[in-house]
Amino acid sequence: MTPDKFFSLVLALQTRPETTVAAIAAETGSSERTVQRDLRWLQDAGFPVVLRRGRYGGVFMLPGGTLDMTRLTPGERDQLALNGLDDEQRRRLGVAEEGGRARRKVAARAGNDLLAVNDLVVSDNRPWFGREPTGTSPAALIGDLRSGARLKILYAREGGEPRWRTVDPYGLLAKGGRWYLIADELGKARMWNLARVERWDALRVPRRLRPGAGLAATARELTERWDAGGGLEVRFVLKDRQRGRAERIFGSRLALGEAAEPGWTHAVLRCHVVDEVCQLLSFGDSATVLDPPEAREKVRELAAGILAHYGD
């Protein structure tokens, strides 16, 4: 197994909450027998990988599952990435003696009396409502990202036609069950949803990142900016019995304030554009928009359209 295939296997497990041996084999270009062998090695090495047989079985890694890398030397970390190479290949790479120590260190906390992960987790590979991820796979893209090259991606904005964009990539971000490419376009950082990346080409020029910028800091900046919502604050009052539902739907975009009249609470919803006020329509008469005026007007417009659609 080459280093790229090793990382492809790990990324395949992180691409979706559950997958199958067959899907991983197709994604990594390996046989199902090879995938099963490599998954067993990952379990032995300390990854909390769960394999469940049967019609609705699958393969997944418990959230937050990583190796205890703090105990490994740089050479031992390399050896873990190169697992699967034969002894001669390891010798040529200068990591032949690191393998045993790496295995022992990452497995040191696992005693012989511990229960198997498979016996402690129930897996159901059927989705509730969501569809299988489409677009570009992180495992397919990782090889070109590791080359440090600038990318040209065919990207489709929501509701728009796909067009080619030239970007300088930092790397990948997994957020909320989706994968994003973090990359600069014309010197400005953006998140690119991999589900909308239809094709890509690695250019023969190195990426050009902003001085001092890195993946972790850039991803954090982008996600915090998005989580905080846009610059438009929609003020409304909400019935108290709907508070829990509103918090689940809007998360950090919602700020609940002081009580209004009995049974009602003042609230603020941070939006990127005024059209997002439509999300309050699902609350019916349990939410009343107060301001800004354009948000109230948008609600009137949407409500009138619904009435016209369903009216006699």
pLDDT digits 0-9 by tens, 201-232? 999 999 999 999 989 899 888 888 776 656 78
Q: Could you identify the residue written with the tokens 């490419």?
A: 181
State residue 34 phi and psi, 5-degree precision. Answer: -65, -40
pLDDT score for 229: 59
pLDDT for residue 189: 93
Entry pTM: 0.51
* Separation of CA 42 from chain center: 21
**Rounded distance, CA 18 to CA 127, Å?**
9
Contact by Cβ (8 Å): 232, 274: yes
What is the total residue count of the chain? 312
pLDDT digits (tens, 9 = 90+) for 68-121: 444 445 555 555 444 444 444 444 444 445 455 555 554 444 455 666 554 565
* DSSP conformation letters of the chain: --HHHHHHHHHHHHHSS-B-HHHHHHHHT--HHHHHHHHHHHHHHT--EEEE-STT-EEEE-TT----GGG--HHHHHHHHTBTB-HHHHHHHT-TTHHHHHHHHHTTT--TTSPPGGGT-----S-SSPPPP-S--HHHHHHHHHTTEEEEEEE--TTS--EEEEEEEEEEEEETTEEEEEEEETTEEEEEEGGGEEEEEEEEEE--PPTT--HHHHHHHHHHHHHT--SEEEEEEEEGGGHHHHHHHHGGGEEEEEE-STTEEEEEEEESSGGGGGGGGGGGGGEEEEE-HHHHHHHHHHHHHHHHHH--
Half-sphere exposure in the Cβ direction for 71 (13 Å, CA): 13
Q: Are 258 and 265 in contact (CB under 8 A)?
A: yes
| pLDDT at res. 168 | 96
Tokens of 25: 């084999």
- What CA–CA distance (Å, rounded) separates 169 from 199? 15
> Which tokens belong to 264?
């009602």
**Residue 180 and residue 171: Cα distance in Å, rounded?**
9
Check if the beta carbon of residue 27 is closer than 8 Å to that of residue 5: no
HSE-CB at 18 with a 13 A cutoff on CA atoms is 18
CA–CA separation, 160 and 156 (whole Å): 6
CA 60, chain centre distance (Å): 15
The segments of the chain whose pLDDT lies below 70 read 1-8, 11, 14-17, 45-47, 54-57, 62-134, 176-177, 227-230, 312
Structure-token match 């997002």, residue found: 276
